[in-house]
Structure formats: C-alpha cells, structure tokens
Amino acid sequence: MNDRQVPFGRGLLYGVYQSRLKRWLQTQQRPKHVAMIIDGNRRWARQRGLETAAHGHTAGAAKVHEFLTWCDDLGVEVVTLYLLSADNLTGRTAEELADLTEIIADLSEDLSHFRDWRVQHVGRTAGLPQGLVDKMLAAEKRTADHRGLHINLAVGYGGRAEIADAVRSIVRSHNEAGGTLDNLADDLTPELIAEHLYTGGQPDPDLVIRTSGEQRLSDFMLWQSAHSEFYFVEALGPDLREVDFLRALRDFARRQRRFGQ
C-alpha cells in the first residue's frame, strides 16, 4: 500500500530507469541470500492518522509479498524476513501483538500457496500464540518438497538466543553420543556452530537490507551476517519500491567483497 502520487511523466521515467537497472543487473553479481529487516510499519500508520498499528502491519505484509516476488524474479535463492523479534514479544502491547501475530499467520499460509516457494520458521516458538505456531508449521510441511525461493520467517527470533540454542544443541548431541568435555572443546568450531543454527545448511546472507532509515541490526542474524553487506533504505516498510530494491542490488554489485583478503 502506497499513497504517494507520482506525476505521469515522472512515473514513465522511473519505469525506463527501472528497466535499465534490471537489464544491467542481469550481467552483475547478485546475492544468493537476502535478509530483510522490515521496519517502519507503525510509523507508516501514524503518519496517515490510522487508528491502530495493525493497518501498518497489514500494509507491510502486502509489501512482503511484492518484495519476495522481486527477489524470486531476479534469481535470489534465499530470503530471510525479520517479522517479529524476541524483544517484540515483551516490548509491544498485547493488542498489537494479537493483531501482528494473526497477520503473520495469514502471511505464512498465503506464501505457502504461491509459486514453488518453500517456507521455514526460524526462531523460538515459546511465547508465540499456538494458532501462529500451527500455521507456520503447516506452511513448512506443505512446502517441504518445494524447490523454489526459500523463505525464512524470523518470528520470535533473537540472534543471541539462536547462538545459545545452537551451543545447547551441540552439547546435548555430544552428551548423547557419550563424548567427553575435552572432546567437546576440541570439536567446538565455527563450522559446527553454524550447522546447529536455525538456518543450518543455508548460505549466510550476502546482503542485509533495513527499511525506515534505522541503521542497526536489532539482534538479527548476528552470527550469519559476519561478512554480509548492509544497505539502509529511508522508505518505511510499506513504502518500499521495486526501484529501491534494485538500487540495493546495484550497490551490492559495485562493492568488492574481500573476506579479509
């Protein structure tokens, strides 16, 4: 949802510009995994004088579907969406959380019926409404054999919690296998920890995008983003345009990723 009015001539020029960007990107390095921090839904609703934040979250969910289509059409393989943080579960009102979790539940179901997309929940289920957990689980099962765009829904997610959960999983598995503490110390490597993250087996995000002009990670993919490129967009979540996304990809293509070299 976007009520900004663009003059016809300017809109035509944007269309030409957007088409040129797409053609240029076809020959450039593009990210395999894009992570998106969708921010600004509540501000979007306030700026329009809407009664509740739910209007902004609904508009943001509609934009998510557009964004994923842009990614899929340009050959992105994995997208991780930061929809609800662990901090949100204690920092938002019960009314807003009820609306937001219902919107996310509907979104997860809708995405599981579109194209050949695969949907996966990443995050903890503790503190989430059972209805939301059930719908995300159903979306995972429904799309488990899909081979299209892989979509991670980061819901009830915290980066520090994810690392803690990974280490606990390693310790538990090691103990069940009869391993000793000394062996565990020798075996505990970055590669092993990565295997036990919620995103185990997936490539780390090449590009992390955040809307609304804020420039922080907010406990998002702390481990996986160690070598990611970052791009910050001024537009609020529901106002994100395809041309904004294409500019992010252009910026990514122009960067030299040295990985310490």
> Which of 203, 202, 167 minimizes the C-alpha distance to 187?
167
Sheet containing 207-210: give its strands across.
Answer: 118-122, 150-157, 78-85, 33-37, 207-210, 229-232
Given 72, 88, 99, 152, which residue is catalytic?
A: 88
206 catalytic? Reply is no
- 208 forms beta bridges with 35, 230
39 catalytic? Reply is yes
Measured on CA atoms in the order 177, 180, 183, 185, is the torsion positive or negative? Answer: positive
Determine contact, residues 155/104, Cβ cutoff 8 Å.
yes
CA terminus-to-terminus distance, the chain? 43
Q: Annotated catalytic sites, by residue? A: 39, 88
